[in-house]
């Protein structure tokens, strides 16, 4: 079944907003971000109605915040008007996580794409969600480091999208998926509160809320800052072709 098609007995969580309500929401968002960063015409919205999955659905509004505080205020505006909010990375996901099936407000992190801090001694970096995977590795490579998770789309995929989907792929067979490389998060809750989870160390005391939120696809929070692990570049990289008699033999070799 398509993700945009509900079973006949299922009631939608949200109704599409009316034009009058849309105008009101656009007015509130434009006052916050400026009209340039609030898209609402059909032409502008076409780019954000799909990702790398097969489904399409047009949002009502697209916004481009510049800060965590902007995101928190956007969420509060959406809650006040009972409008759904969908965070979007680069739209490379295959699971439909960025598809706005009820319309609503799509948050695009194009303007929140900076590396905030790199700590080589403690093997970590703090980044914004709109940063492209490869851009972080390009910044780290001259010092002999890189960011490991790569679901084969590192040239375009954002780290915020990685976190939302707990992205994996063939390049993560050795080092693990995204959750294995995230130490902490700054998030905005559905109530518009800004919360820090996890931290600068690998094993923080208390519940593993970071592990819970990684892969939640925007259903539990919106990620606005990520503390990631960085690793040393391998001493050498070589491409080989190996032939195995069984799938088990191939899998065991990769594991070893």
Q: Do 128 and 203 belong together in one domain? A: yes
Is the separation of the CB atoms in 87 and 51 below 8 Å?
no
**How many domains is the chain partitioned into structurally?**
2
Domain end: 108, 125, 154, which one?
Answer: 108
Q: 198: which residues sit within 8 A by CB, 6+ positions away?
A: 182, 183, 184, 185, 204, 209, 210, 227
Phi-psi region of 157 (alpha: psi -120 to 50; beta: other; left: phi over 0): beta
Is the separation of the CB atoms in 123 and 231 below 8 Å?
yes
Q: Do 26 and 101 belong together in one domain? A: yes
Tell me how long the chain is. Answer: 256
pLDDT of residue 141: 96
Helical axes 68-81 vs 19-33, angle rounded to 10°: 160
pLDDT of residue 256: 75
Instruction: Provide the 10 A C-beta neighbour count for residue 53.
Output: 17
CATH number at residue 27: 3.30.43.10
Domain containing 197: what range?
Answer: 115-232
Asked if residue 70 belongs to a domain, the reply is: yes
Phi-psi region of 3 (alpha: psi -120 to 50; beta: other; left: phi over 0): alpha
Chain-centroid distance, C-alpha 34: 24
Instruction: Provide the 10 A C-beta neighbour count for residue 230.
Output: 21
HEC letters along 103-126:
CCEEEECCCCCCEEEEECCCCEEE
Asked if residue 87 belongs to a domain, the reply is: yes
Q: Do 104 and 119 belong together in one domain? A: no
Q: Say how far apart CA 184 and CA 203 lie, in whole Å.
A: 10
| Consecutive 10-residue averages of pLDDT for the chain (256 residues) | 56 82 97 98 93 90 98 98 94 88 95 98 97 95 92 86 87 83 96 94 81 94 97 85 92 81
Q: Do 61 and 23 belong together in one domain? A: yes
């Amino acid at each position: 079944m398509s993700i945009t098609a509900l079973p006949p007995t299922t009631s939608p969580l949200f109704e599409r907003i009316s034009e009058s309500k849309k105008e009101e929401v656009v007015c509130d968002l434009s006052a916050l971000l400026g009209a340039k960063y609030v898209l609402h015409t059909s032409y502008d919205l076409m780019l954000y109605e799909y990702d790398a999955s097969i489904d399409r659905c047009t949002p009502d509004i697209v916004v481009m915040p510049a800060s965590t505080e902007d995101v928190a205020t956007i969420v509060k505006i959406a809650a006040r008007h009972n409008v759904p909010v969908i965070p979007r990375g680069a739209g490379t996901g295959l699971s439909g996580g960025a598809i706005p099936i009820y319309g609503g407000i799509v948050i695009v992190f194009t303007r929140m794409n900076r590396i905030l801090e790199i700590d080589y001694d403690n093997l970590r970096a703090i980044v914004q969600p709109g940063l492209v995977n490869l851009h972080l590795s390009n910044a780290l490579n001259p010092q002999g480091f890189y960011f490991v998770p790569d679901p084969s789309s590192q040239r375009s995929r954002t780290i915020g999208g990685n976190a939302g989907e707990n992205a994996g792929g063939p390049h993560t067979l050795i080092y693990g998926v995204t959750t294995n490389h995230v130490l902490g998060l700054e998030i905005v809750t559905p109530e518009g509160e800004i919360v820090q989870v996890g931290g600068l160390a690998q094993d923080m005391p208390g519940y593993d809320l970071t592990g819970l939120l990684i892969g939640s696809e925007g259903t539990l929070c919106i990620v606005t800052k990520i503390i990631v692990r960085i690793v040393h570049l391998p001493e050498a990289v070589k491409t080989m072709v190996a032939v195995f008699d069984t799938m088990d033999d191939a899998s065991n070799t990769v594991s070893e």
